[in-house]
Amino acid sequence: MEAFEGGSTLFSIDMSTIKQVGEFGSKAWCEACADFGVAILRASDLPNDLSWGFSEIYTAPPARLVSDDWPISGYHFMIHEGIVSGGGSVTDACLALPGFHVRMRWAYICNQSSTKYGFEGQRQRSSEENMLEEEIANYLGFEPNLGAIDNPVWPKPIIAALSVGVEEGAGLHNIAASLQMPSPEFSDLPVTEMGVPEFSLMSETQKEFFLALCDISKK
C-alpha cells in the first residue's frame, strides 16, 4: 500500500491492485472512474463551503460501448453542500456547478487516455492533441468540432486531492488509465509515445477511417 500525501490531503491506494475493467467510455470504466473520484474527494479534507463538479461526456463512441439502457458515454463526481456523490452518468446537478466539464469526441482522446503520466506528461499530451487538431484542420480546410471544455474551474483543494501521488504514478488520471482496456480501432494507427494519433503519418485510408471514427465529415 502506498500513501501519497499532498497538503492536508491523504489518499492511499496500491496501484498494483487496479485492474482493467473496460474500454475508454464503456459503462464499466465510467462507473469505476466515478467511484474512484468519489473515494478521493471523500478521503480529502475539503472546505465545507466548496461546491465543484467534474464531468466528461464522450461523443460518437463506438456502438458497442453504449446501449438503450445507457445511451450516453460519460461519468461525473461532485461535491455540494458537504456531500460527495457521482456515478456513471452526467447529471444536470453536476453540470450546474463550477468545475471541469468536458464534452469531447471519443476517438480524439481515447487512446492517449490510457497513458500514465505526471504534470509534464499532461502538458505534452495537450500539445500533441493541439497538433492533431491542427493537422486535421489543415487536411479538411476548416476547424473540426472535436469538443470543448466549458470554463474550467480548478480550486486548489481539488487539484491537491486529485493529483495526490501523480508524479509517483497515482492520481485520478493514472487510476483511470490503469482501469482502461485497449480499443481495437487504434491498433493499426500511427500514434506518438503518449498515444496521441499522428494524423500526418496516416495513409489516406487511415485518415478517412479516423475522421469517420470522430464522426467528422469532410464537407
pLDDT tens-digit map of 175-194: 999 999 999 999 999 999 99
Cell 460501448 sits at which residue?
Answer: 65
**Cβ count within 10 A of residue 130:** 11
pLDDT at 1: 32
The CA distance from 135 to 132, in Å, is 5
For the chain, first and last CA: distance in Å?
53
pLDDT tens-digit map of 191-206: 999 999 999 999 999 9
User: Which SS3 state, helix, strand or coil, does residue 197 take?
Assistant: strand
H or E stretch covering 78: strand 73-80
> Is beta strand 52-59 parallel, antiparallel or unpaired with respect to 99-105?
parallel
pLDDT at 7: 38
Task: Name the amino acid, one letter, at 92.
Answer: D
The share of the chain scoring above pLDDT 90, in percent, equals: 86
Distances from the Cα of 92 to the Cαs of 6, 81, 150, 170, 217, in angstroms? 31, 16, 14, 29, 30
Pick the range with the lowest mean pLDDT from 5-9, 103-107, 150-154, 180-184: 5-9
What dihedral angle (degrees, nearest 10) is formed by the CA atoms of 8, 6, 175, 155? 70
Q: Exposure pattern of 143-156 as b/e (b: 16+ CB <10 Å)?
A: ebebbeeeeeeeee
The CA distance from 46 to 75, in Å, is 21
pLDDT at 103: 98
Tell me the domain boundaries of the chain.
2-128+144-184
Question: Sorting pLDDT into bands at 50, 70 and 90, what band is 219?
Answer: confident
pLDDT at 10: 62
pLDDT tens-digit map of 19-53: 999 999 999 999 999 999 999 999 998 998 999 99
pLDDT tens-digit map of 71-106: 999 999 999 999 999 999 999 999 999 999 999 999
